[in-house]
């Protein structure tokens, strides 16, 4: 068995060696090659639209609208954006040169890292694997793609189809679970891009440290939506309910819980309840617009959170169908088990507060939000909330939609991750900024060389 494991690791190592040899041919430096790979990836979407929708339904029973907007169209638009801007992103960035170094030219050149290992989570199994790949290709890298084993239908589709579209000298798909990951992490990659839990994020970073491999970690956190008394509660409730129960709450930027000013707590509860029944009807299990929990282990963990809680909305569950109703808890406390870690499911605790700063202080002690939300008409109060809780991103009066703006970097902070991507930020995430200084042979002043005299230091002092 031990021998078998070793030989599998060796197999992965020779695969990465082969891809690195492909990288070292220099072909990825050519913009034509990058455009070709991006266009081929787009063709994967165009030619497999039906299969993509079917596999995502099989894995997560996602509604068509969510598949289209957050998986299918999301990555296609990312590809179009990269194709449109690629030549300007690739252009060396000119920077000024201090007088003391003239004549010279200074530039920052974006260099590909080499072969990246891209590991995806299961909740958006197409987007989270292929959106980073867009950045990897745009920046001229090769990659090993590791789809999530928790979304098996999508994993199969990726493994079967993607190799038909990409340059196999530079790209490969490896499937498998924790054992496969453990072996993969024994190998030196030039870059690792990981999306998943903070717990596994630490394992990835420790493995990368052995080789000093740079990492981007896209993790999760305890995202809070702070609702102040002056907010439009009907709009607030609709936006929160939409963001929370999208993909049955299995969304890394969904509001994990609500902190609401006590004076409007009751009214907010009424609006939340109304939004749930408006969106999903009296029996959300029958709604075509409501998803399912990925697997039974996660289902059991989520249902466990309901013990001893006051359920304001929902609470029903059906293990066989992996269904948990959109559920809202009232009178929750920071000490409740459901408040200790990211929920990542359709359970929304609501905590009322009288003292804003006290509540924000408690929220700031929880795992760092990937996304922080505040609802108020007073921008200054919103900024106050944003100052008190560190987070990967911050949105005023809406949830989740900031992700649709490719000009904004998407990434976490502290326990919710490091590094960011989307749009040009993806290109940057997969590029090393190489400093390049070019001089001629003229202007070779003798005072820079020993023996240094008194005059040299005097001159340096004057030069600033």
Which residues does the annotation mark as catalytic? Answer: 218, 252
Please report how close the Cβ of residue 176 comes to ligand NAD at its closest, in angstroms. Answer: 7
Please report how close the Cβ of residue 156 comes to ligand NAD at its closest, in angstroms. Answer: 14
SS3 for 124?
coil
Helix axes of 31-47 and 73-90: crossing angle, nearest 10 degrees: 170
Q: Per CB under 6 A, does 182 bind ligand NAD?
A: yes
> Given the complex with ligand NAD, which of 205 and 311 has the nearer CB atom?
205
Residues in the chain, how many? 464
> Given the complex with ligand NAD, which of 19 and 119 has the nearer CB atom?
119
Q: Per CB under 6 A, does 417 bind ligand NAD?
A: yes
Among 15, 83, 203, 356, binds ligand NAD (CB under 6 A): 203
DSSP label at residue 377: S
How far apart are the C-alpha atoms of 399 and 238, rounded to whole Å?
10
Helix axes of 152-165 and 31-47: crossing angle, nearest 10 degrees: 130
Q: Kindly tell me the number of DSSP H helices and DSSP E strands found in the chain.
A: 16, 18
Among 133, 137, 150, 233, binds ligand NAD (CB under 6 A): 150
The one segment of 176-184, 353-361, 425-433, 440-448 that binds ligand NAD by CB under 6 A: 176-184
Please report how close the Cβ of residue 206 comes to ligand NAD at its closest, in angstroms. Answer: 10
End-to-end CA distance of the chain: 65
For residue 434, give the H/E element and its range: strand 431-439
Q: Is the distance from CB of 16 to CB of 187 less than 8 angstroms? A: yes
Give the residue closest to ligand NAD by C-beta.
220
Print the binding letters for residues 233-272 with ligand NAD: x by CB under 6 A, - otherwise: -------------------x--------------------
> Given the complex with ligand NAD, which of 23 and 245 has the nearer CB atom?
245
Which residue from 222, 324, 329 is spatially nearest to 268, judged by alpha carbons? 329
Among 367, 412, 419, 423, binds ligand NAD (CB under 6 A): 412
Which residue from 267, 273, 258 is spatially nearest to 314, judged by alpha carbons? 273
Q: Is the distance from CB of 59 to CB of 125 less than 8 angstroms? A: yes
Print the binding letters for residues 209-228 with ligand NAD: x by CB under 6 A, - otherwise: ---------xxx--------
Q: Per CB under 6 A, does 196 bind ligand NAD?
A: yes
How far apart are the C-alpha atoms of 410 and 130, rounded to whole Å?
15
Q: Is the distance from CB of 137 to CB of 34 less than 8 angstroms? A: yes
Among 48, 55, 148, 154, binds ligand NAD (CB under 6 A): 148
Q: Per CB under 6 A, does 342 bind ligand NAD?
A: yes
φ, ψ of residue 449 in degrees (nearest 5) = -100, 150
How far apart are the C-alpha atoms of 370 and 220, rounded to whole Å?
6
SS3 for 109?
strand
Q: Per CB under 6 A, does 200 bind ligand NAD?
A: yes
Among 122, 189, 373, 386, binds ligand NAD (CB under 6 A): 122
Site for ligand NAD in 269-328 (CB under 6 A): none
Residues that bind ligand NAD (CB under 6 A): 119, 121-123, 128, 148-150, 177-178, 181-182, 195-197, 200, 203, 218-220, 252, 342, 344, 370, 412, 417
């Amino acid at each position: 068995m031990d021998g078998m494991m070793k030989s599998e690791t060796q197999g992965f190592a020779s695969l990465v060696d082969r891809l690195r040899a492909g990288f070292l041919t220099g072909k990825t430096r050519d913009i034509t090659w990058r455009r070709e790979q991006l266009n081929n990836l787009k063709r994967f979407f165009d030619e497999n639209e039906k299969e993509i929708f079917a596999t995502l339904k099989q894995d997560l029973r996602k509604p068509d609208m969510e598949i289209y907007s957050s998986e299918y169209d999301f990555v296609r638009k990312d590809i179009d954006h990269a194709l449109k801007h690629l030549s300007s992103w690739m252009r060396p960035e000119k920077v000024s040169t201090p007088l003391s170094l003239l004549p010279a030219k200074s530039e920052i050149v974006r260099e590909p890292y080499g072969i990246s290992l891209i590991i995806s989570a299961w909740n958006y199994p197409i987007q989270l694997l292929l959106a980073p790949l867009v950045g990897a290709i745009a920046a001229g890298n090769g990659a090993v793609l590791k789809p999530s084993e928790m979304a098996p239908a999508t994993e199969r589709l990726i493994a079967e189809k993607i190799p038909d579209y990409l340059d196999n000298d530079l790209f490969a798909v490896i499937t498998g679970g924790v054992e496969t990951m453990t072996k993969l992490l024994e190998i030196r990659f030039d870059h690792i891009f990981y999306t998943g839990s903070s717990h596994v994020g630490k394992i990835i970073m420790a493995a990368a440290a052995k080789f000093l491999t740079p990492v981007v970690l896209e993790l999760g956190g305890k995202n809070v939506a702070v609702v102040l008394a002056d907010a439009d509660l009907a709009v607030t409730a609709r936006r929160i309910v939409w963001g929370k129960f999208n993909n049955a709450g299995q969304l890394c930027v969904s509001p994990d819980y609500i902190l609401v000013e006590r004076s409007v707590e009751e009214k907010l509860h009424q609006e939340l309840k109304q939004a749930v029944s408006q969106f999903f009807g009296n029996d959300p299990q029958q709604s075509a617009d409501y998803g399912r929990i990925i697997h039974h282990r996660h289902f059991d963990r989520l249902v466990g959170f309901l013990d001893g809680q006051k359920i304001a909305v929902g609470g029903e569950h059906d293990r066989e169908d992996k269904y948990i109703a959109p559920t809202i808890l009232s009178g929750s406390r920071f000490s409740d088990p459901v408040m200790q870690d990211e929920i990542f499911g359709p359970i929304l605790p609501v905590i009322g507060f009288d003292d804003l700063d006290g509540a924000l202080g408690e929220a700031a002690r929880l795992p760092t939000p990937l996304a922080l939300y505040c609802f108020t008409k007073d921008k200054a109060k919103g900024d106050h909330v944003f100052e008190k809780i560190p987070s990967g991103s911050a949105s005023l009066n809406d949830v989740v939609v900031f992700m649709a703006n490719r000009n904004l970097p998407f990434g976490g902070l502290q326990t919710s991750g490091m590094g960011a991507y989307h749009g040009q930020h993806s290109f940057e995430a997969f590029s090393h900024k190489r400093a390049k200084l070019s001089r001629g042979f003229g202007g070779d002043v003798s005072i820079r060389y020993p023996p240094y005299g008194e005059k040299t230091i005097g001159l340096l002092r004057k030069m600033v």
